[in-house]
Amino acid sequence: MNLAEKRSLAGQFYEQGFVIRRGFFPETIRNEVIRSINGQLNPVLAPAEFETDVGYPGAPSSRGTTGGMTPRRLLAACSRFPVLRDFALSSDVADAIRELLGESAISLAQAHHNCVMTKAPDHSSATLWHQDVRYWSFDRPELVSMWVALGDENLQNGCLRVIPGSHRQEFDRGRFDHALFLRPDVPENKPLLRSAHPVELSAGDVLFFHCRLLHAAGSNRSDQVKLAGVFTYHATHNQPIPGTRSAQYQSIELS
């Protein structure tokens, strides 16, 4: 990618809050990563989060009910999937994040995302409109997440939907509910929701999105598990606030 293309992507990221790099994740290692993930899904190996843990719409009510042991994501991806970790820490990814954040020193946050999303065809939940930064505590709300599509993602299997440009808007607290999801009943939110855009990806595509970008996702109505690796990055000098969840694990600086 030449300098003009990089600047174009950085400009799009600033305006829209997200960019897509088509075929950015190498096909040569994708099957190896998928095999490794599937080997830890049956049975589910800890650490993992289950659909019932989050209680989103469509999730089973408890682990003892039908579908209650449906996994939502495999945690600590950097520690358990070496090939995926190597990509997340690679120079190609580092260069992309540097371009989007406009920073030279970049780190991967182990305390947030750092997981493989495992959206199952049965008993998967829908994720309501939210900003990831709602649970994150850094000196500045300037972080970028990388979503690695390990298979095709579309509306049928619950792809992400985003509201372009929402990362640059300021919102009153009353526009969100008690769990910090955007309230669809508030009149000011209706134009935002009408501007929502589905992010459909092919296997190997990578989505980069800002931590303040409003996004949501539907449930998986296909017949196959949808897999995606998700990692979050910040400028190294943009430190997590001590004593918060964001400071629970030390970030990894990219070379």
Work out the number of other CB atoms within 10 angstroms of the CB of residue 236.
Answer: 14
Q: Please check whether residue 124 is in contact with residue 51, taking contact to mean a CB–CB distance below 8 angstroms.
A: yes
**Neighbour-count burial of 75, counting CB atoms closer than 10 A to its CB (0-12 exposed, 13-18 middle, 19+ buried):** middle
Distances in Å between the Cα of 43 and the Cα atoms of 38, 96, 137 are: 9, 35, 34
Nearest by Cα to 145 from 156, 158, 130, 155:
130
Percent of the chain at pLDDT above 70? 98
Q: What is the tens place of the pLDDT at every residue in 81-95?
A: 999 999 999 999 999
> Mind listing the domains of the chain with CATH numbers?
3-47+70-253 (2.60.120.620)
**Angular region, 158: left φ>0, alpha ψ -120 to 50, beta rest:** left
The overall average pLDDT reported for the chain is 95
Sign, Cα dihedral of 108, 34, 56, 60: negative
The token pair that represents 151 in the structure block = 């298979």
List the beta strands (DSSP E) in 2-105: 18-21, 48-50, 71-74
Nearest by Cα to 197 from 160, 226, 170:
160
Q: How far is residue 108's CA from residue 242's CA, in Å, rounded to a whole number?
A: 17
Q: What is the tens place of the pLDDT at every residue in 31-71?
A: 999 999 999 998 999 999 999 988 888 888 888 888 888 99
Q: How far is residue 147's CA from residue 213's CA, in Å, rounded to a whole number?
A: 14
Bigger pLDDT: 134 vs 5: 134
Cα torsion at 14, 164, 253, 102 (round to 10°)?
A: 0
The token pair that represents 82 in the structure block = 């070496």
Q: Please check whether residue 202 is in contact with residue 137, taking contact to mean a CB–CB distance below 8 angstroms.
A: no
Taking each helix axis from N to C end, the angle separating 91-101 and 3-16, rounded to the nearest 10 degrees, works out to: 60
pLDDT at 70: 92
Q: What is the tens place of the pLDDT at every residue in 101-147?
A: 999 999 999 999 999 999 999 888 999 999 999 989 999 999 999 99
Task: Give me the amino acid identity at 205.
Answer: D
| 3-state SS, residue 144 | strand
pLDDT bracket for residue 2 (50, 70, 90): low
pLDDT at 4: 67
